[in-house]
A and B are shown apart, each in its own frame.
Chain A
């Protein structure tokens, strides 16, 4: 059975529902606080997950302190895991952390263009066709979002490059946070590492949709299929 390791930082707060989603897809899952995490934990896992929250409060640039602490406790274990064919998945604050760790293409997530925290559902468009996480998702679907720092910005020209070389996994249909080229999720060229701002773990079941008449899928919400896609690619 594929094993997932979820790294938890002070301020990480979506670990319970992310673990719930991982288990629903079939993963055995371990939530590991970073202070006691070791390279051995990483070695045991096929998928390393960074869930949403406010690691260290996000008082300096979001994800930055988590990156430094990860490097302190794990050294280059995550990079090795990735190079050896392992999967990595970052959601919201986890996306910010993965971006800072340099595993995803170089980018930053800064304050939304509204300059406020926004909790709302986003319509998303699938861009990459090589991403195992999104393999079961339809061309267009919805997920809930909740973030203040979700506006993706890149070095000049990079965003277009990511779009051209298949590193853009998802785009927003509406782009409320003002991301460059409407980018909602990035992947590495292999597709084994992916990060996105919206929260798939919050749309596990149809009843988690805001509209009681939502019936696009009888058993699962769209969020489930991210975890299922990774599971099937790893099993």
Chain B
């Protein structure tokens, strides 16, 4: 006789303590309060739950799936003024986004309901972007963690609409510095940042390259606080005909799984990632990290795209966190239906019901198709040599019933499950000092610049970028490394879209250093940088959408949470000013680590990824100098606000004012620049000023090898000025970019920018030098070749 594949677990008569113990023993990660609600649900149903049902509830209510912190009620105190926030998500993200969408009808075609948000590309096509984190798995097993992180977000896109085609990947990492002395890494089983970096990069490389999706955008941040909790963000962009965005479940459809088999790998992934890392994590939670198989996923991709083109797909979604339970829950909770677990192809025999239903084994997609189309789909699966199985069917019962070898193992009313108890949290924020007018030594600015160019925040990412295929699909028009020498940095990437005259652009920004003192300014500044990079690379400023990805330490620490709240306020204000809605987002909490000396929280980290529409290939504009006889303009104000800059960090300055962003004024400037200069053909190249400030940006432009650059610091537009020359060289004021203009067009360009903070500040030269002057004197001069050497080889010893 077969042994039972499920158990009934009595909860109705348990005491509070016993419920808490049960949650702990089963690794459900449910609080006592949650468990009491669970108990109530089953008392009302007048029966005891099965282990499958408890696991489903734990998964559904996990932070990973339910975002209960972003939905929590927060008592927030900001400099002594208190307020109650009912859901940060609704207040700071969804509501402003809906406002913007109402202002721009027809731009956002779908969001908040599917795997990713879609925007209109042209009359026929739509593009989408999604970014996820895979932090905890990458800390334990960097290669597999990053590998499956990317694999998972690619499936998000394959499951967006009726199956979008993935066309670009982005990856953003936050690590400890690769030269961290090993003795500074506390705790057992902590992988040194160098090992994390190499493992993560190889993981992304091996999945993205094998999938044939170009990795076109990325960033890396280094901070000691990320040693214990590295952050790994993976994103994928997709394209789909607009007519294939809407999908709807109906009764009478066959529910089909395609791709990889189901195994014990990836159990409890969703609940695991919702808890803090401890020293026991590595051993205990190894089974929560899955193994990736990109070729399996590539075959699945081939089937889905072909099936969608043939009109075979009614509904499709990925098997992500929660595995079949969340995929089937998403598909069958409205209509109802039956699933038969014994039909699922397994990696090994002897799995319990809950293991099959909850397993997060990779490379699986679930589809709903009309029964008469099953044979054709089967032929497609055979053609592309992948496995396909009919798992069950939808009906009109309104209830999802899960069967295993004839036994009913799970029968839950989904409407009840989606009301997870609201969390209540408190947060507090007190402004830090924001000093200006610092006494700084500006007598060796050239050395300061060389020092900055060797900083990990600035050095070239070339060794990593070259490990990613960024040109597969043959559509990468603006590449991550370009310019006349093919190795100079660019601000955004731009992708041709097959079948369209329009192009898609991608850019991102992440400024965790700023949030340590002024999280609101981090929010506005990060959005500003993203929008700015997109516009100067050729994106129509009215056709930009954003993604918000937050990571932080312990949300139960009021001070930590206070920073998150302030940052969220900043991104709300910025979105409204730039008219750029958040169409998708994700958050990751509990990125902290308990050491002997107390918890190490990561800085509140906000990644802003943006994507938009480039209306004409002629508008695409790179960041590299193209002439040696051209003129340079600087757009935007330079102010005394060194806080958060690379210069400040290298000089131990922690109390300086962080750059403040006037989003509305900046956006007016970007629009004018786009409408009157960029799209009128007046611009040769443009580069945004970010980490390292003007001196770094000017040198980076010249890394194309076309010429040198001379800039007069006295000409920089400013409202309040500065005390010494450190500021104009290295401050990271937002809203600024350098523009290269042909001498013959200079007057026309100046006229086009009339009314904006914009000045002719210098010119390209043939001397191969970066020369900055002030008061008629040279204050900084360095050979571009020397600077490029420092910059280009900063990472090579470590990678």
B-binding residues in A (CB < 8 A):
8, 10-11, 13-14, 16-17, 20-21, 33, 35-36, 52-54, 56-57, 116-121, 144, 146, 199, 201-202, 204, 207-208, 210-213
Are the CB atoms of B467 and A13 closer together than 8 Å? no
CA–CA, A39 to B209, complex, Å?
31
Are the CB atoms of A35 and B209 closer together than 8 Å? no
Closest-CB distance, B107 to chain A (whole angstroms): 26
Q: Which residues of A contact B479 (CB under 8 A)?
A: 210
Which of the residues B211, B469, B620 comes within 8 Å of A117, measured between beta carbons?
B469
Are the CB atoms of A33 and B384 closer together than 8 Å? yes
Are the CB atoms of B467 and A119 closer together than 8 Å? yes
Closest-CB distance, B83 to chain A (whole angstroms): 50
What are 6 pairs between A and B in contact, CB < 8 Å?
A: A35-B382, A56-B295, A116-B466, A146-B469, A146-B471, A202-B474
CA–CA, A202 to B210, complex, Å?
17
Q: Which residues of B contact A119 (CB under 8 A)?
A: 465-471
Are the CB atoms of B209 and A202 closer together than 8 Å? no
Q: Which residues of B contact A54 (CB under 8 A)?
A: 209-210, 294-295
Which of the residues B384, B472, B477 comes within 8 Å of A207, measured between beta carbons?
B477
Are the CB atoms of B498 and A57 closer together than 8 Å? no
CA–CA, A110 to B702, complex, Å?
37
Asked if B219 is at the interface of the complex by the 8 Å CB criterion, the answer is no
Asked if B482 is at the interface of the complex by the 8 Å CB criterion, the answer is yes
Are the CB atoms of B626 and A33 closer together than 8 Å? no
Are the CB atoms of A14 and B472 closer together than 8 Å? yes
Within 8 A of A (CB), among B358-406: 382-386
- With A204-B474, A207-B617 given, name 18 new contacts (CB 8 A): A10-B295, A10-B384, A10-B385, A10-B386, A11-B294, A11-B299, A17-B472, A20-B474, A33-B385, A36-B382, A56-B295, A116-B467, A119-B466, A120-B466, A120-B486, A146-B209, A207-B620, A212-B620
**Contact of A35 with B383 at beta-carbon distance under 8 Å, contacts A16-B473, A210-B479, A213-B484 already known:** yes
Are the CB atoms of B471 and A11 closer together than 8 Å? no
Asked if B260 is at the interface of the complex by the 8 Å CB criterion, the answer is no
Q: Which residues of A contact B468 (CB under 8 A)?
A: 117, 119
Instruction: For the complex, count residues of B whose C-beta is within 8 A of A.
Output: 41
**Contact of A144 with B471 at beta-carbon distance under 8 Å, contacts A36-B383, A56-B295, A211-B483 already known:** yes
Q: Which residues of B contact A210 (CB under 8 A)?
A: 479, 481-483, 486
Closest-CB distance, A226 to chain B (whole angstroms): 13
Complex: chain A residue closest to B294, CB-CB = A57
CA–CA, A211 to B490, complex, Å?
12
Asked if B298 is at the interface of the complex by the 8 Å CB criterion, the answer is yes
Are the CB atoms of B295 and A121 closer together than 8 Å? no
Asked if B622 is at the interface of the complex by the 8 Å CB criterion, the answer is yes
Asked if B75 is at the interface of the complex by the 8 Å CB criterion, the answer is no
CA–CA, A211 to B382, complex, Å?
43
Asked if B475 is at the interface of the complex by the 8 Å CB criterion, the answer is yes
Asked if B212 is at the interface of the complex by the 8 Å CB criterion, the answer is yes
Q: Which residues of A contact B498 (CB under 8 A)?
A: 16, 20
Are the CB atoms of A17 and B474 closer together than 8 Å? yes
Closest-CB distance, B158 to chain A (whole angstroms): 14
Are the CB atoms of A57 and B466 closer together than 8 Å? no
Asked if B76 is at the interface of the complex by the 8 Å CB criterion, the answer is no
Which of the residues A10, A116, A117, A202 comes within 8 Å of B299, measured between beta carbons?
A10
Within 8 A of A (CB), among B613-651: 617, 620, 622, 626
Are the CB atoms of B486 and A121 closer together than 8 Å? yes
Are the CB atoms of B383 and A11 closer together than 8 Å? no
Complex: chain B residue closest to A59, CB-CB = B295
Complex: chain B residue closest to A37, CB-CB = B383
Asked if B268 is at the interface of the complex by the 8 Å CB criterion, the answer is no
Q: Which residues of B contact A208 (CB under 8 A)?
A: 474, 476-477
Closest-CB distance, A12 to chain B (whole angstroms): 8
Are the CB atoms of B620 and A211 closer together than 8 Å? no
Q: Which residues of A contact B626 (CB under 8 A)?
A: 212-213
Asked if B543 is at the interface of the complex by the 8 Å CB criterion, the answer is no
User: Of residues B294, B385, B483, B620, which shows the largest number of chain A Cβ atoms within 10 Å of its Cβ?
Assistant: B385
CA–CA, A11 to B385, complex, Å?
11
Closest-CB distance, A146 to chain B (whole angstroms): 4
Asked if B205 is at the interface of the complex by the 8 Å CB criterion, the answer is yes
Are the CB atoms of B482 and A57 closer together than 8 Å? no
Q: Which residues of B contact A199 (CB under 8 A)?
A: 471, 474
Q: Which residues of B contact A57 (CB under 8 A)?
A: 210, 293-295
Are the CB atoms of A13 and B211 closer together than 8 Å? yes
**Contact of A146 with B472 at beta-carbon distance under 8 Å, contacts A16-B498, A116-B467, A211-B482 already known:** yes
Are the CB atoms of A11 and B210 closer together than 8 Å? yes
Are the CB atoms of A17 and B298 closer together than 8 Å? no
Are the CB atoms of A17 and B467 closer together than 8 Å? no
Q: Which residues of A contact B299 (CB under 8 A)?
A: 10-11
Complex: chain B residue closest to A54, CB-CB = B210
CA–CA, A25 to B475, complex, Å?
18
Within 8 A of A (CB), among B448-477: 465-477
Are the CB atoms of B470 and A35 closer together than 8 Å? no
Complex: chain A residue closest to B468, CB-CB = A119
Complex: chain B residue closest to A214, CB-CB = B484
Complex: chain A residue closest to B476, CB-CB = A208
Q: Which residues of B contact A16 (CB under 8 A)?
A: 473-474, 498
**Contact of A14 with B212 at beta-carbon distance under 8 Å, contacts A20-B498, A210-B482 already known:** yes
| Closest CB pairs A-B (n = 10) | A13-B212, A17-B474, A146-B469, A57-B295, A202-B474, A210-B482, A210-B486, A54-B210, A11-B295, A211-B484
Are the CB atoms of B472 and A13 closer together than 8 Å? yes
CA–CA, A13 to B472, complex, Å?
8
Q: Which residues of A contact B466 (CB under 8 A)?
A: 116-120
CA–CA, A210 to B383, complex, Å?
37
Closest-CB distance, B310 to chain A (whole angstroms): 14
CA–CA, A207 to B501, complex, Å?
14
Closest-CB distance, A95 to chain B (whole angstroms): 16
